[in-house]
A and B are shown apart, each in its own frame.
Chain A
Amino acid sequence: GDSVTQMEGPVTLSEEAFLTINCTYTATGYPSLFWYVQYPGEGLQLLLKATKADDKGSNKGFEATYRKETTSFHLEKGSVQVSDSAVYFCALSDRGTSYGKLTFGQGTILTVHP
């Protein structure tokens, strides 16, 4: 079945540091890929998405590129802020279903210090 693997956390960075959170996936079809963010005490919010190979999703300074050859969707940001501290989830959507069944990675906790 489909699966998503994220880099082990937690990740601790200083403000303005470069961020990479690795995500790889296995899927039988041609999934859409997502990054969700969960701020403390809140539900998940969609951060960015990519629906086909070589697409780049971007939002709030975060970027991720759908790499079919390496089955990866790594999240990057050039300069993190304290307000980026959150849990980040990589997910894929099975477009073979009518509702896009989501499979999540285990989540990566990011803490950014001033």
Chain B
Amino acid sequence: DAGITQSPRYKITETGRQVTLMCHQTWSHSYMFWYRQDLGHGLRLIYYSAAADITDKGEVPDGYVVSRSKTENFPLTLESATRSQTSVYFCASSEYWEQYFGPGTRLTVT
């Protein structure tokens, strides 16, 4: 199906573990984004990418790593998960100034 998908939708992991959240879009949009959503903070930008192999930090990048080897995929990795990274993570893509969001991944770090 066309659109933007995220996997897994739900994930529970332990402190210190590495976890990767996947994001895939079928529109061939140039830009992709990762946000985290926390109560009282709205959405905060973690990382974004302007094209394959081009990534840059957002507002809250510490503890996260991204890569973009293909235009359609933009995985987010937590190298050593911490409880403060418990959140809902949204991926988005855009070509101009309108962003399209995926359904989100709810991550719990125990």
Mark A residues whose CB is within 8 Å of B: 4, 32, 36, 41-46, 49, 89, 93, 95, 98-102, 104-107
Contacts and interface: CB of A to CB of B under 8 A. Distances in A.
Given A43-B102, A46-B98, A106 B41 contact: yes
A49 B99 CA distance: 12
Nearest to A104: B42
Q: In the complex, which of the residues B31, B50, B97 has the most CB atoms of chain A within 10 Å of its own CB atom?
A: B97
> For this complex, into which size category does the number of interface residues on chain B fall?
20 to 34
10 contacts: A43-B90, A43-B103, A44-B43, A46-B98, A93-B97, A99-B30, A100-B97, A102-B43, A106-B40, A106-B41
A104 B98 contact: no
Interface of B: 30-31, 40-45, 48, 50, 90, 92, 94, 96-104
6 closest residue pairs by CB, A with B: A100-B97, A43-B101, A104-B42, A44-B101, A99-B31, A106-B42
B102 A95 contact: no
A46 B93 CA distance: 13
A46 B97 CA distance: 12
B103 A89 contact: no
Contact of A98 (B50, B90, B103): B50
A58 to B, nearest CB: 16
A104 B94 CA distance: 16
Given A43-B101, A99-B94, A101-B48, 5 more contacts: A4-B42, A46-B98, A89-B42, A89-B43, A102-B43
Contacts of A36: 101
A99 B102 contact: no
A44 B43 CA distance: 10
Contacts of B48: 99, 101
Contact of A43 (B40, B41, B44, B104): B104
